[in-house]
Amino acid sequence: MGDSEHQRNVNLPPGFRFYPSDEELVVHFLQRKASLLPCHPDVIPDLDLFPYDPWDLHGKALGEGNQWYYFSRRTQNRVTHNGYWKAMGMEEPIVTSSNGKIVGVKKYFIFFMGESPSGMKTNWVMQEYRLSDSSSSSSSSSSSRSSKRKSKTDYCKWVICRVYERDDDDNDGGTELSCLDEVFLSLDDLDEISLPN
Amino acid sequence: MPENMSISVNVNGQSQVPPGFRFHPTEEELLQYYLRKKVSYEKIDLDVIRDVDLNKLEPWDIQERCKIGTTPQNDWYFFSHKDKKYPTGTRTNRATAAGFWKATGRDKVIYSNGKRIGMRKTLVFYKGRAPHGQKSDWIMHEYRLDDNTSDTNIVPNVMGDGAQEEGWVVCRIFKKKNHLKTLDCPLTSSIITGESGRRSHNMFDDDEGALEQILQQMGRSCKEENEVNYSNNNNGRFSLSSNFNNNNGGDHSSSINYNDRFLKLPSLESPKSTSLENNHNNIDTNNNVYHPMIPEMEGSFTTVHHMDGSNGGRLANWAALDRLVASQLNGQTESSRQLACFSTDPTSSSMMVYGTNDVVQDLQMPTLRSSSSSTSTSTHRAAFVSPHAQDYNSSEIDLWTFARSASSLLSSSSEPLCHVSNTSV
């Protein structure tokens, strides 16, 4: 399952996978990277800027299931060999589970084939995680209340990208109820329904 | 593997699970690796899945007992040995001190490389004692191995799992999310906030989780519908099912083609309520409406329309539907459409109604005008019929059977039928 290339130093029993929460990505990986601390484990590779088409990430980025993770730099130019990433115009604050503090921001992009602005939309989606204290993000309304704090760290520099092709047939391995299960469940409220158990 | 394992996992002890990593096994891994080793008494390298006596532990206790390390978990895994039965029958006793686990839905077949390896049962935890238990958000998936893995033609007997009522199973419990994914679904908030949701779909172009939202809504609608209609009598049958083309191309535009072939349900006169009027605003009635002639029949109507043509593919999984919904949510397509698929059933009409746009929230069963003057006979009662389906991926999905009595149907009306008036029954 997944690409083992970047997980070679993480040898876990079957069933263990890289499924980081947003918070973990920001706190355990992005913050440490930005602070020049080593990441444990050092599984997310640094692909620098954005040269790769999403389908070229295989073998280069950390792949798990249908998702790929890599470090990149913050940039306004997200052009790849065959297309470009276009912002979807939304950002999501990443908060810590312990105290609800905003530690990062997640931004969504869609991959377009061809040249901007006439590219063809694809199903490839990128979530770009950046640390929230970047001063350049003051225009983003959602995280403005945490933007006061100054830091010596070069927070602008690094981002983590999570790329996936949406519409994949796989659900997440059954940890959610299937759609039909949901229907069954809600219908279960009708006691009279007799089901073969 | 053990010798070059550089990171050890110590269950319930000091966590050595590196950050970002989780125990997130596939169903195949659960069955083929863990459960298979368990039943054959092979040693499992790491004791990540513990044994749990399901009768002794409440779900929230299991959650404590089955922690893996200290990383936050959304699901918990354990082995359980099924050996206790209810005194009154052959069913497994899954009662605890505080409640009981009750099976829901239909067991799903688990495949590995196209080969059937086991089954998954879905259970819900109810607090209290049957039949007065109160449904909780705790869900359990109970996986059992298929003893007859070599024979793919095994048809589970009608009695259900009588043969598999003994032995080890591997279980996963988790709490159902009421408002669904927030992790990867940026739409969640906008959906919940209502009005602006539709615009948000278009803006963000991300439909992840939207289908679940829709289905939840759908379930809710059905439930309401059933509640409304429940007290009434019914005679005939009115069943819902669907046949979808399974179009494996990931291309959204291809799914748009579905719509042209989908039947619109004939619009039958139904008493209008104010809410009905509102809902109608969402429907484009001029959109390639195809009105089948519905023969007048005694007690039922039979309208046949096979969605799948030459390729014979039907809804192989929900992803096809997902794609379809996604294409709708993306909004560049025309205005609201509905899907109405009919399948053949000699004794009943089968249909599935999906308003795939915003109409979805209002999905309701049609009210068919009964020629008899008493509207109270035109009622529905829900029951599951899914005689063919072994699993959710099988060719037909019969969601509901609605019993009704309709002695005649109006076939010439031009309004799309996707609403029922709650007031008439």
In chain A, domain spans:
17-188
CB contacts, 8 Å: B215 with chain A:
179, 182-183
Amino acid in position B76: W
Pairing of β A83-95 and β B21-23: unpaired
Q: Do B382 and A20 touch (CB under 8 A)?
A: no
Instruction: Pick B216's closest partner by Cβ from A20, A182, A195.
Output: A182
Amino acid in position B421: S
CB contacts, 8 Å: B75 with chain A:
175
pTM of the model: 0.53
How much is the pLDDT for A47?
85
Least confident of A19-23, A39-43, B22-26, B151-155: B151-155
Please, what is the Cα angle at B422 between B416 and B425, to 5 degrees?
110
Q: Residue A157 burial by CB count (10 A; 0-12/13-18/19+): exposed, middle or buried?
A: middle
The Cα–Cα gap between B269 and B366 comes to 10
CB contacts, 8 Å: B106 with chain A:
184, 195-196
Give the tokens for residue B400.
């509901």
Give the tokens for residue A28.
């355990």
How much is the pLDDT for B187?
42
Is A108 in CB contact (< 8 Å) with chain B? yes
CB contacts, 8 Å: B4 with chain A:
11
Could you say which DSSP state residue B12 is in? T
The Cα–Cα gap between A48 and B197 comes to 36
Q: Work out the average pLDDT over B138-142.
A: 94
Chain centroid to CA B239: how far?
Answer: 16
pLDDT value at A58 more than 90? no
For residue B342, the distance in angstroms to the closest alpha carbon of chain A comes to: 19
How much is the pLDDT for B391?
42
How much is the pLDDT for A189?
66
How much is the pLDDT for B255?
37
pLDDT value at B62 more than 70? yes
Q: Which residue of B has its CA nearest to A185?
A: B104
Q: Do A175 and B158 touch (CB under 8 A)?
A: no
CB contacts, 8 Å: A19 with chain B:
20-22, 24
C-beta separation of B173 from B143 below 8 A: no
Is A8 in CB contact (< 8 Å) with chain B? no
Q: Do B106 and A90 touch (CB under 8 A)?
A: no
The Cα–Cα gap between B92 and B165 comes to 6
pLDDT value at A55 more than 60? yes
The Cα–Cα gap between B58 and A171 comes to 28
The Cα–Cα gap between A61 and B280 comes to 49
- Decide which of 2.170.150.80, 2.40.40.20, 2.60.410.10, 2.60.120.10 is the CATH code for A17-188: 2.170.150.80
Is B398 in CB contact (< 8 Å) with chain A? no
Give the up-direction half-sphere exposure of residue B99: CA atoms within 13 A in the CB hemisphere: 19
C-beta separation of B425 from B260 below 8 A: no
The Cα–Cα gap between B33 and A57 comes to 30
Interface test with B, best of A184, A191, A194 (most B CBs within 10 A): A184
DSSP-assigned states of every residue in A74-140:
--S--B-SSEEEEEEEEEEEEE-TTT--EEEEEEEEEEEESSTTSPEEEEEEEEEEEETT-GGGGG-
ipTM of the complex: 0.74
Interface test with A, best of B1, B3, B26, B172 (most A CBs within 10 A): B26
Q: Which residue of A has its CA nearest to B180?
A: A176
Residues 41-80 of A with CB under 8 A from B: 41, 43
Q: How far is CA B225 from CA B20, B353, B385, B422, in A?
A: 44, 14, 18, 7
In chain B, pLDDT over 90 holds for what percent of residues? 17
* Average pLDDT score, chain B: 58
Q: Work out the average pLDDT over A34-46.
A: 80
pLDDT value at B335 more than 70? no
In chain B, pLDDT over 70 holds for what percent of residues? 33
pLDDT band, residue A33 (cuts 50/70/90)? confident
> Count of H helices and E strands in chain A?
3, 7
